[in-house]
Amino acid sequence: MDNEINQKSTPRSFWPWLKRKDKRSDPFYVGEVADWGRDEGDDCLDNTCVRSMENDRCEFTNELRVFVGTWNVAGRSPVGSLAVDVDEWLNLKDAADIYVLGFQEIVPLKATTVIGAEDPTEAKNWNLLIGKTLNDKYGCPLKPITNDNYQYARVSDPERRASVCSRIATPIGDQSDRGSRYKLMASKKMVGVFISVWMKRELLRRYSVSSVKVCSVACGIMGYLGNKGSVSVSMSIEGTSFCFIAAHLASGEKIGDEGRRNNQVSEIFRRTSFPQLPQDGGSPHPLTILGHDQIFWFGDLNYRLYVDDNLARQLIKKQDWRALQEFDQLERELQDGGVFQGWKEGNIKFAPTYKYSSSNCNRYSGGLPSRAGEKQRTPAWCDRILWYGKGVKQLSYFRSESKFSDHRPVSALFLTQIEVVESTNPRQNPVQPLIPTITPTTKLHRTRLKKRRPPTLCSWSAKDKKACAKRHAKAVNQIGDTCCRRQ
């Protein structure tokens, strides 16, 4: 009897010894970081490899640098001289692995553009400028993309594995792997709202990137026109799902206008969906915004200041950003647990980004003495970047000084963690979909999959909750059955 007990307890007693640091040479390694909000006892540690003796697979976390930017360009088309401004905005001296760029008003918001058919011309022009800026930095040619609704076609798993094996066998300094080029992963336009996502090509060879999907939600005039709303991109990198939402919310600084913005946020949460597709291969993928592991919401959110115009301008002149932020509508939403309950934003240490008098001007619109024909607007931080989820650390949050429009572009750089599962035996070339988490027992699989974040919207309907619960239960059963077959 004692022998039987000892034999059953052996895997648990030796489990700590099966964890080791992943000492393989990794050119993408950024450095050690703290565990940003992970649960205690989580088996997926920073830069830690967890081996399974039965299937000879290794799970570890890697870090990616994600750049998120937003810019309301006031209906102006990109011109050649704008390349300098875009270069400064993207901060290419400190290059990221992924660039996620959201634009508002890439076309004038007039009746013909709001009600008429979508014209991909401006989206194509912006993608050309972005691609040229990213790739010219490394002397690489740009392949034009002519579609405003572009989605990356996933590389087959055997092809990616073979590429990974060959890359690992090649010295890091090999000339064939030099020069970081960026590939367009997704692009979506809805009237004036536009999102463009780019990724280093090396990452596509190293990681499994799957389920790249786009979605648009129009919630402007009459609640369904595209002058206001969002465009979103969903994608998975190995075992971590990402969602990027570029939004343009209702304008106005009158009392009650913030309520219209909150209602549009609720509508975007409710109506954004990423249906399961046959090419997903049966692997579970988030269907809604809140189902993703890491979420980034950015754009011209149009939240204003609860403060007199003169006082706002005095605080701006003193550069007292902390005092000014006490009157910020979005800051109150974050603190009071409104539509963005549980979301985070970095410290704002820059001047309000809206509204400047005109192009090529550093003076805010309105104020005293007033100018003829100039709109009276209290300066505000309309352009914002928020995030939600674990494994995300913000490295910087700043605005650029381009005078191209009456808004200043804003950007943030993040360090994100992704869960990676790879075979430790180079001779293996598995073709089955990767299991997001490899653990020694089926019970732990089920426990970790059931740990889902609560929704951030009080208005989330019971129907949505029920559908989400059924989807998660199905995913738990699928992965649990897979583990049982492997044991």
Nearest to 128 by CA among 198, 25, 215: 198
Helix (H) or strand (E) holding 383: strand 383-389
* Confidence at residue 269, expressed as pLDDT on a 0 to 100 scale: 98
DSSP-derived letter for residue 38 is P
- pLDDT per residue, tens digit, the chain (487 aa), is 444 444 444 444 333 333 333 433 333 333 333 334 433 333 333 344 444 444 555 677 899 999 999 999 999 999 878 989 999 999 888 899 999 999 999 999 999 999 988 999 999 999 999 999 998 865 554 555 555 677 776 644 544 433 332 222 222 233 333 444 899 999 999 999 999 999 999 999 999 999 999 999 999 999 999 999 999 999 999 999 999 999 999 999 999 999 999 999 999 999 999 998 887 777 788 999 999 999 999 999 999 999 999 999 999 999 999 999 999 999 999 999 889 999 999 999 999 999 998 767 889 998 766 666 678 899 999 999 999 999 999 999 999 999 999 999 999 999 999 998 765 555 444 333 333 333 333 443 344 434 444 445 544 444 454 555 565 566 546 545 544 454 4
Strands (E), 12-127: 19-21, 48-52, 57-72, 98-104
- The answer to whether 43 and 50 are in contact (CB under 8 A) is yes
pTM, whole model, 2 decimals? 0.73
- Across 110-126, b (16+ Cβ under 10 Å) vs e yields eeebbeeeeebebbbeb
- The answer to whether 221 and 250 are in contact (CB under 8 A) is no
- The answer to whether 286 and 292 are in contact (CB under 8 A) is yes
98-104 and 57-72: which strand pairing? parallel
Q: How far apart are CA 423 and CA 158, in angstroms?
A: 12
Q: How far apart are CA 266 and CA 458, in angstroms?
A: 9
Helix (H) or strand (E) holding 435: none
- Across 55-67, b (16+ Cβ under 10 Å) vs e yields bebbbbbbbbbbb
* Confidence at residue 306, expressed as pLDDT on a 0 to 100 scale: 94
Q: How far apart are CA 180 and CA 178, in angstroms?
A: 6
User: Hey, what amino acid is at 35?
Assistant: D
User: Is residue 219 helix, strand or coil?
Assistant: coil
- Give all domains of the chain, ordered by start, each with its CATH number: 61-137+180-367+377-419 (3.60.10.10)
